[in-house]
Amino acid sequence: MRNHSPGDGSQTGAYYGPESGTRWFGLWDGFFAVSYLVTAVLLFLSGDSQATNPIPIAALTLMVPWYAAVGRPLMIEDTYGPRNLVFAAGLVTLFCLTTAFNLVGAFALFAVIPMLIMSLPMASAVVLATVANLCPVLVVAFTGEDLGLSVLGVLPISLLSIALSVLLGMWIKRVVRQSKERGLLIEELRRSRERVARLSHEAGISAERERLAREIHDTLAQGLTSIISLVQAAESEVRGAPDQAVHHLSLAGRVAKESLAEARDFVAALTPPALRGGSLSQAVRRQAEGLIAETGLEVRCSVMGEEKALPMAVSVVLLRTVQEAIANVRKHAKQARTVDVIVVFDQDRVRLLVRDDGEGFTPDGTQEGYGLRGMQARVEEIDGVASVTSSPGRGTTVEVSVPMTALAGEESHG
């Protein structure tokens, strides 16, 4: 049996909550009340001179507040200590007093024995239960001739009473223990559900923040970068080459409109404007044309193999990859002269390559910014593989490969 501190909030919360064994004690209270009433009525109805003696009724009645004030809290707390022994000794004393003045009071054993079992360790409870059951035998031994009873006639009944009372007390004790353990388990399950709900909520918030961050980076941030570059170019050309400045400002206005449309659509989780009403290859060609118009680089865009209709989720990821790769060319490949954008439709996969002949870098992970990490995260969501190959002076190649099994899976989900 476990010892619990009454001040332990974690335990008392489980014991006194709506799912604890405390609620079950209502049945035991009812059993105790019935036992008291039956014994009291029998004492009043006993047909000898002992019926006029108030001591048995008084001693029996004192068991009620003794149980309610001292014994019941001890049974609920499920603790063992000096108070338990005081309660048990007082209970046995009141019972023996009741029985000594009226043998009919022995019927109170049906309530006394279970209370001893529930408030004491088993060994101590059995000892005191035996003492309580021997009390009627001693009364018969001293006054049996006046009552017409013999010790041998009462002893079997006392032994049977011990057995039945002990079994009843053990059953009650077991049920109460199981109820308390169930209360602890339910409390732990409730806390686990709250913890899982909280973690799920936090994970959902984190995933949504990650999605918005990727969308903002791939749309608004890149669009603003292009606008800034075009406006700066126009400022430097407004006097020397006004026609070129107007052209750059026109491009800046077009990029601003496209960025605004992208912002509205990713908030509403709609199809990106670049993919609306066209295929992936057409959207990729438009991105290449935009890079030509903004930088004047030689951009070669090609599609190899027979183009297949792709699920929208895959098309969006591939388009965002092209946008990120082109943004990196614009920002980092200052010495680049040519850029190749290739979409390859194989039998078992679709591949995308964006290759430039710029200054390149050493891809050791330290130079990979949020854009590349976001691109790789996007590709992994559709079971694809993204890689970045580069070396100083030899340019950079971004390659994405998505297997046909992933394409089939996206179509079935759609």
Q: Give the mean pLDDT of 210-216.
A: 68
**Band of residue 268 on the pLDDT scale cut at 50, 70, 90:** low
> What would the pLDDT profile of 72-116 be if each residue is shown by its tens digit?
888 877 677 888 889 888 998 998 888 888 888 888 887 888 888
Helix and strand element counts for the chain (H, E):
14, 5
pTM recorded for the entire structure: 0.43
Q: Give the mean pLDDT of 22-46.
A: 79
Structure tokens at 365: 């992970």
Would the pLDDT of 269 be above 60? Answer: no
pLDDT computed for residue 342 by the predictor: 92
The DSSP code for 238 is T
Q: What share of the chain in percent tops pLDDT 90?
A: 5
Would the pLDDT of 68 be above 60? Answer: yes
pLDDT computed for residue 353 by the predictor: 92
Listed in sequence order, the DSSP H helices in 4-147 are: 9-16, 25-45, 54-66, 72-77, 82-101, 109-119, 122-147
356 vs 279, residue with greater confidence: 356
Structure tokens at 44: 């009043």
The chain-wide mean pLDDT, for the chain, equals 77
Which of 17-26, 171-180, 289-298 is predicted least confidently?
Answer: 17-26
Would the pLDDT of 414 be above 60? Answer: no
pLDDT computed for residue 240 by the predictor: 80
213 vs 340, residue with greater confidence: 340
pLDDT computed for residue 274 by the predictor: 64
- Compute the distance between CA of residue 335 and CA of residue 322 in angstroms, rounded to an integer: 19
pLDDT computed for residue 48 by the predictor: 53
**Band of residue 5 on the pLDDT scale cut at 50, 70, 90:** very low
pLDDT computed for residue 12 by the predictor: 39
Which of 5-19, 158-172, 197-211, 302-316 is predicted least confidently?
Answer: 5-19
> In the CATH scheme, what architecture does the domain 274-403 have?
2-Layer Sandwich (3.30)
pLDDT computed for residue 283 by the predictor: 85
CATH number assigned to the domain covering 209-270: 1.20.5
* Three-state secondary-structure class, residue 357: coil
* Tally of CB atoms within 10 A around 196: 10
pLDDT computed for residue 293 by the predictor: 78
Residues 6+ apart with CB under 8 A from 330: 225, 226, 229, 291, 294, 295
The closest alpha carbon to 72, from 37, 40, 24, 34, belongs to: 24
122 vs 9, residue with greater confidence: 122
- Go through 22-33 and write b for each residue having 16 or more CB atoms within 10 A of its CB, e for each that does not: bebbeebeeebe
The residue ranges of every structural domain in the chain are 18-143, 209-270, 274-403
Q: Give the mean pLDDT of 21-34.
A: 73
Which of 212-221, 284-293, 301-310, 392-401 is predicted least confidently?
Answer: 212-221
pLDDT computed for residue 341 by the predictor: 92
Would the pLDDT of 207 be above 80? Answer: no
323 contacts 218 by C-beta, under 8 angstroms: yes
Would the pLDDT of 11 be above 80? Answer: no
**Band of residue 6 on the pLDDT scale cut at 50, 70, 90:** very low
Burial-class residue 347 by CB neighbours within 10 Å (0-12, 13-18, 19+): exposed
Burial-class residue 296 by CB neighbours within 10 Å (0-12, 13-18, 19+): exposed
- Compute the distance between CA of residue 183 and CA of residue 173 in angstroms, rounded to an integer: 15
> What would the pLDDT profile of 348-393 be if each residue is shown by its tens digit?
889 999 999 988 888 765 455 566 777 888 888 888 888 888 888 8
> What would the pLDDT profile of 182-195 be if each residue is shown by its tens digit?
878 888 888 888 88
Q: Tell me, yes or no, if the two domains 209-270 and 274-403 fold the same way.
A: no
Would the pLDDT of 2 be above 50? Answer: no
324 vs 4, residue with greater confidence: 324
